[in-house]
């Protein structure tokens, strides 16, 4: 009982505080609390950096809490954001389940919640305002479509899958397979897991080259992420072939190193998983605060395809963000 | 001379398993044994097995020494990540190759020293003592790389991973050198005997005059050094240090290689060459699976199945039912001629 009382008192106090604030200064800065997972990858670090930059652009005050890969830290962060009475809470959820009760607290405090880059599992869709994520199936499709167009629909592809059972690996395969099914001349001749790492990507590609007559039977390699593609490029080079020419290289993510490889003519295309998840979320939030119009439940980020012609400029633009 | 010298029959499961796995690969992929020269470097699936197996083989060499003292070193994967992170970061900052190598190896040495002191002086159980560095070490590596994949372009460091010496890939050369040096250290001196004595009974070997703390620290330092070399190879190979993934779970592969090689986790008698054979069995399977075109979902199951068979062949309970060439010789008789490659034969 007492705990509940404390929470509702805190929320009431917070609500009062916000109300007073709104009366005193109508054009006060929006305050957004962002519970980030951590900084386990270059992409994640870029997402945080971009969130800050995009907030500055719009004059938003962004408070970031690093959860160090733990859901309990994220729940604590959300509670503290509720207590501080922020205008909105962004969460990049580390896991899909277990969010209902803390999101209810935010809802009771009338603080809109936006999910960034990952979805959650909940029965009550009203617990969050919207989710900004990429469509990983679509990413696979974009990569496949580029390859089909480039090769006139005729290509023997080897595939480097991500970690077995992980959702990006399953979805990026699914999207690519859809395009392969539409093109009778396209075929996946070998597929193996490279665990999303450079070292495994290189090792698997070495075997593929040997298994396919020294690489002569391979038209292209499709890697579920850029790191594996970078490993595969090295394996192709060491086998005495030219990556990007003898074997086409297409992958997903858009990390700086693949742009470097493209600028050197060793990779052919990458589908970007944009680290700018916060930008669309801010825009939706500002629109919501202005005229109360709720955004759609899912805001899909663009899966843009990049090719070597813009690679050099893109590399310069990105190398410091990651 | 209480440790009986094993006959060649004891090595049969290991060599047999290696040959069987290689033959299975050949059946799945007829060109398995085909080797040609590519840019002055041997090129072929068999070379891949040796080349890709090198890091685990190096770890297994160090791990064999540790396990022979009845210890275990769980931190080798993390030490690989640290050494690789230091190498890539320093190379990126413009340090010369000798300085980079010295720093990386020194890091491995320090890690080994830390483990050794915890085990030998503070008498913490090895599995716990090295668990500390296993967890913390990856964090240290991530601090060094600031959580990113640090890439470099220096051809001299890359040479360690993808260069060759007399057409043999450098990782293989380094492994052979490490194996030879280790074998020389432990078999040409009394060190090997002391290591085994500590593994059999630490108290009584101390009573017999063995300086057990020094022996223990020495094996952990050696293990750390081997791990640092393995880390250099992995980093040089992909021209970048991936602190999150370099050497991840390789400590388990290394322990497995040692056990498959027939060295008991209870310490005592050890076989260096057989541990390397164990590492090659594991890698032959990995390469075979990649060549076979099995779905990736089957990788781990196939691996587990083959390993189970190899371990069953060594199981004392099962070997009772198998026909044996000749019962064990009485202890203390003249040693049978031992092939120079069977490092595990001399006590």
Long-range CB pairs of B280-283, under 8 A, 24+ apart, other chains included: B280/B18, B280/B49, B280/B50, B280/B53, B280/B57, B281/B14, B281/B17, B281/B18, B281/B21, B281/B257, B281/B306, B281/B310, B282/B53, B282/B56, B282/B253, B282/B256, B282/B257, B282/B307, B283/B49, B283/B50, B283/B52, B283/B53, B283/B56
H helical segments located in A226-277: 226-238, 256-263
Query: What's the angle, vertex CA B272, arms to CA B48 and CA B98, rounded to 5?
Result: 65
Helix/strand/coil for A269: strand
Is residue A68 less than 8 Å (CB to CB) from chain B? no
Across the interface, of A40, A161, A193, the residue whose CB is closest to B244 is A40
Q: pLDDT (tens digit, 0 to 9) for every residue of chain B, 347 residues total?
A: 334 444 556 788 889 999 999 999 999 999 999 999 988 899 999 999 999 999 999 999 999 999 999 999 999 999 999 999 999 999 999 999 999 999 999 999 999 999 999 999 999 999 999 999 999 999 999 999 987 889 999 999 999 999 999 999 999 999 999 999 999 999 999 999 999 999 999 999 999 999 999 999 999 999 999 999 999 999 999 999 999 899 999 999 999 999 999 999 999 999 999 999 999 999 999 999 999 888 888 888 988 988 898 888 878 787 777 665 554 444 444 444 444 444 444 43
Chain A closest-CA separation from residue B170 CA (Å): 14
Does the beta-carbon distance from A208 to B290 stay under 8 Å?
A: yes
Inter-chain residue contact B45 with A199, CB threshold 8 Å? no
Q: Give a yes or no: residue B45 inside a domain.
A: yes
Please list the alpha-helical segments (H only) found in B71-125.
76-92, 97-120
Q: Name, in order, each residue with C-beta under 8 angstroms of B342's C-beta and a sequence gap of 6 or more.
A: B8, B11, B271, B273, B274
Residue from A29, A22, A31, A105 nearest A64 by CA = A31
B78 in any annotated domain: yes
- Threshold 0.80, pTM exceeds: yes
Residue labelled with tokens 């954001």 = A81
CA A196 from chain center: how many Å?
14
For residue A206, give the nearest of B29, B48, B244 by CB distance: B48
CA distance B136 to chain A (A): 15
Structure tokens at A103: 């999101």
Query: Taking CB atoms and an 8 Å limit, are A193 and B296 in contact across chains?
Result: yes
H/E/C letters for each residue in A11-57? HHHHHHHHHHHHHHCCCCCCEEEEEECCCCCHHHHHHHHHHHHHHHH
**B338 within a domain of the structure (yes/no):** no
Structure tokens at A265: 């003519």
| In a domain? residue B239 | yes
Residues 6+ apart with CB under 8 A from A68: A38
Q: Is residue B300 part of a domain?
A: yes
Write the CATH number for B163.
1.10.3470
Contacts of A195 in chain B (CB under 8 A): 245
The HSE-up count of residue B236 (CA atoms within 13 Å, CB side) is: 29
Name the residue among B162, B234, B240 with its Cβ closest to that of A238. Answer: B162
Tell me the nearest-neighbour CA distance from A40 into chain B, angstroms. 6
- In a domain? residue B4: no
Taking CB atoms and an 8 Å cutoff, what residues of chain A touch B238? 198-199, 202, 230-231, 234
Q: Taking the C-alpha atoms of A286, A289, A291 and A295 in order, what is their torsion angle to the nearest 10 degrees?
A: 60
A276 to chain B, any CB pair closer than 8 A? The answer is no
Which range marks the domain in which residue B67 is found?
13-24+36-314
The ipTM estimated for the assembled molecules is: 0.86
CB-nearest to B148 from A207, A240, A322 is A322
**Exposed/middle/buried for B316, CB within 10 Å: 0-12, 13-18, 19+?**
exposed
Interface test with A, best of B51, B150, B244, B296 (most A CBs within 10 A): B296
In B, which residues are within 8 Å of A45 by CB distance? 147-148
What are the 10-residue block averages of pLDDT along chain A, 322 residues in total?
55 52 58 89 87 95 92 96 96 92 95 93 93 96 97 96 90 97 96 94 96 94 96 96 97 94 97 95 93 91 95 89 76
B202 located within any domain: yes
Q: Which domains does chain A have, with CATH numbers?
A: 2-134+275-291 (3.40.50.2300), 136-273+307-318 (3.40.50.2300)
Q: At what angle do helices A278-291 and A42-58 cross, to 10 degrees?
A: 30
Number of CB pairs, chain A paired with chain B, less than 8 A apart: 81
E-strand ranges in chain B read: 36-38, 41-43, 149-151, 164-165, 168-169, 240-242
Q: Is residue B142 part of a domain?
A: yes
Angle in degrees, CA B10, B16, B21, rounded to 5: 145
Q: Where are the strands (E) in B115-249, listed by range?
A: 149-151, 164-165, 168-169, 240-242
Res A10: pLDDT: 55
Number of domains in chain B: 1
B242–A199 C-beta distance less than 8 A: yes
**CA–CA dist B201, B3 (Å, integer):** 13
- Which chain B residues touch A if contact means CB-CB below 8 Å? 29, 31, 38-39, 41, 43-45, 48, 52, 147-149, 151, 162, 234, 237-240, 242, 244-246, 286-287, 290-291, 293, 295-297, 299
Is the CB of A40 less than 8 angstroms away from the CB of B147? yes
Q: Which residue of A has its CA nearest to B158?
A: A234
Please indicate if any CB of chain B lies within 8 Å of the CB of A41. yes
């Amino acid at each position: 009982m007492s705990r509940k009382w404390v929470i509702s008192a805190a929320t009431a106090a917070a609500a009062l505080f916000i109300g007073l604030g709104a009366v005193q200064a109508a054009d006060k800065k929006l305050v957004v609390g962002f519970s980030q997972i951590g900084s386990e990858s270059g992409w994640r670090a870029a997402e945080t950096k971009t969130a800050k930059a995009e907030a500055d652009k719009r004059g938003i005050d962004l408070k970031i809490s690093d959860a160090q890969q733990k859901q309990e830290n994220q729940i604590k962060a959300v509670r503290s954001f509720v207590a501080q009475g922020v205008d909105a809470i962004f969460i990049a959820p580390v896991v899909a389940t277990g969010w209902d009760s803390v999101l209810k607290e935010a809802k009771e405090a009338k603080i809109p919640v936006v999910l960034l880059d990952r979805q959650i599992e909940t029965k009550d869709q009203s617990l969050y305002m919207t989710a900004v994520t990429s469509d990983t199936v679509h990413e696979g499709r974009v990569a496949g479509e580029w390859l089909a167009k480039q090769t006139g629909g005729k290509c023997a592809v080897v595939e480097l899958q991500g970690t077995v059972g992980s959702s990006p690996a399953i979805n990026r395969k699914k999207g690519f397979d859809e395009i392969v099914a539409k093109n009778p001349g396209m075929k996946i001749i070998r597929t193996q897991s490279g665990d999303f790492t450079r070292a495994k990507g290189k090792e698997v590609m070495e075997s593929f080259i040997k298994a396919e007559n020294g690489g002569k039977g391979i038209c292209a390699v499709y890697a579920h992420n850029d790191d594996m593609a970078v490993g595969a490029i090295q394996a192709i080079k060491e086998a005495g072939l030219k990556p990007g020419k003898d074997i086409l290289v297409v992958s997903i993510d858009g990390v700086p190193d693949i742009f470097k490889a493209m600028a050197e003519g060793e990779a052919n295309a990458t589908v970007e998983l944009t680290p700018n998840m916060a930008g669309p979320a801010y825009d939706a939030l500002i629109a919501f605060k202005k005229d109360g119009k709720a955004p759609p439940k899912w805001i899909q980020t663009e899966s843009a395809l990049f090719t070597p012609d813009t690679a050099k400029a893109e590399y310069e633009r990105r190398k410091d963000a990651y | 001379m209480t440790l009986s010298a094993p006959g060649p029959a004891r090595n049969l499961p290991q060599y047999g398993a290696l040959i069987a796995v290689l033959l299975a690969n050949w059946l799945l992929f007829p060109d398995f044994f085909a080797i040609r020269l590519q840019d002055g470097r041997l090129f072929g699936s068999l070379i891949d097995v040796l080349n890709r197996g090198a890091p685990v083989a190096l770890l297994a060499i160090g791990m064999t020494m540790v396990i022979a003292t009845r210890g275990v070193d769980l931190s080798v994967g993390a030490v690989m990540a640290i050494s690789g992170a230091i190498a890539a970061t320093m190379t990126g900052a413009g340090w010369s190759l000798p300085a980079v190598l010295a720093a990386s190896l020194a890091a491995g040495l320090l890690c080994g020293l830390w483990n050794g002191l915890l085990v030998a002086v503070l008498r913490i159980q090895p599995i716990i003592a090295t668990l500390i560095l296993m967890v913390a070490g990856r964090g240290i590596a991530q601090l060094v790389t600031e959580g990113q994949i640090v890439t470099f372009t220096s051809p001299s460091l890359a040479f360690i991973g993808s260069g060759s010496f007399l057409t043999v890939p450098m990782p293989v050369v380094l492994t052979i050198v490490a194996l030879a040096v280790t074998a020389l250290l432990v078999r040409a001196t009394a060190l090997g005997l002391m290591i085994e004595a500590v593994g059999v009974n630490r108290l009584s070997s101390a009573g017999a005059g063995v300086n057990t703390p020094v022996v223990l620290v020495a094996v952990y330092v050696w293990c750390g050094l081997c791990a640092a070399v393995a880390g250099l190879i992995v980093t040089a190979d992909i021209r970048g240090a991936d602190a999150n993934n370099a050497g991840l779970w390789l400590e388990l592969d290394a322990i497995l290689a040692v056990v498959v090689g027939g060295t008991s986790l209870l310490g005592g008698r050890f076989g260096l060459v057989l541990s390397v054979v164990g590492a090659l069995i594991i890698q032959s399977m990995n390469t075979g699976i990649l060549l076979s075109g099995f779905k990736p979902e089957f990788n781990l199951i196939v691996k587990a199945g083959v390993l189970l068979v190899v371990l069953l062949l060594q199981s004392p309970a099962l070997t009772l039912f198998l026909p044996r060439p000749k019962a064990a010789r009485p202890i203390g008789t003249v040693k049978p001629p031992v092939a120079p490659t069977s490092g595990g034969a001399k006590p």
